[in-house]
Structure 1
Amino acid sequence: MIASESVRSAAAEAPPGRPRPGPGPAACCLPAVPASVPRLRRFARATAARWGLPDGVQDPLALVVTELAANAVRHSGSPDVALLLSTDGFTVTVEVRDTGRWRVASPAGEPDQACGGRGLPLVRAFAADWTLWRTPGGTLAVAELVVLPDR
């Protein structure tokens, strides 16, 4: 117990001129169903608030998580969708992973949405950088958002 307390206090103090270490990553894995998308969005907002990130990053973070998770639900055929969030205090990294195979059509029984197709351009608009990997084992989408201090 004493060792873990000393490790924690040492990690909280950064050397002069170096940024403080960010909090540990936060992860959430849910079934790949439409109802999971708002749950992942709420998880992202709650995590950003818990980390003390500025209010100005919460809306873009929620939007990016929503779009990437919705794509995984709609297009992957995966049984689940996983969200991993991490920050170093300067950027927030969003990782959304599924284990399905990319398909363009909506899943059976889900109505086709006429307003679809805007998700990745929105991610591009809000993320400083983003990458999408499609493999036979699933898809990984990674987006990085810059943390700007509130004014």
Structure 2
Amino acid sequence: MAEASMRHEFQVASRVESVPRSRHETAKVLCDWGLAGDVVDTACLIVTELVANVVRHAAVLSPTAGVCLTADADALTLTVSDTHPFKPRALPTAHDHGGRGLRIVSALVAEVRGSHDVVPDGASGGKRIVVRLPLAPLPV
């Protein structure tokens, strides 16, 4: 991957069929950038879970979800945004019919010693879920 920062943004409708589209676009862009396969796989799973959460929980007030991918020499940053004001949180226990998305994202991020946060977006009244995955090799 080049040392310069790279950025790609796209929007998808807050509909079920947008979930695989977001995963495929994320995979294509990250592969084109030359990122390692395990990073691409992790990033695709995270974007899939976050876009699915927008579809499931925010679509009523957010007709679209924004996805922004940025990479530099140190990290890959994944941002999924919507215009719904509710700030999501991982449920303490998995519910029978859902509630696992943010728990999955948290586990994936912890596994690679990354970080994630929910950031209010004052301009839209919604929020951005920002996930940062380190690209440098983990210490042994």
**TM-score normalised to structure 2 length:** 0.78
Q: How far 1:95 moved relative to its partner?
A: 0.5
Separation (CA, whole Å) in 2 of partners of 1:139 and 1:102: 8
Q: How far 1:58 moved relative to its partner?
A: 1.0
Amino acid at match of 2:115: D
SS in 2 for 1:122: helix
Assess if the C-alpha contact under 8 Å between 2:120 and 2:128 holds in 1. Answer: yes
Aligned counterpart, 2:131: 143
Q: Deviations over 1:93-133 (max 9, x none)?
A: 000001124399xxxxxxxx944111111111122100013
Amino acid at match of 1:117: G
Aligned positions of 1:43-122 closer than 5 A: 43-76=25-58, 77=60, 78-102=62-86, 114-122=96-104
2:113 maps to 1:130: no
Separation (CA, whole Å) in 1 of partners of 2:121 and 2:30: 30
What percentage of residue pairs aligned between the two structures are identical? Answer: 34
Mark the runs of 5 or more structure 2 residues left unpaired by the alignment: 89-94
Assess if the C-alpha contact under 8 Å between 1:57 and 1:148 holds in 2. Answer: no
Mark the runs of 5 or more structure 1 residues left unpaired by the alignment: 1-11, 13-19, 105-112
Separation (CA, whole Å) in 2 of partners of 1:22 and 1:55: 19
**TM-score normalised to structure 1 length:** 0.72
Q: How many residues in Structure 1 have an aligned counterpart in Structure 2?
A: 122
2:28 maps to 1:42: no
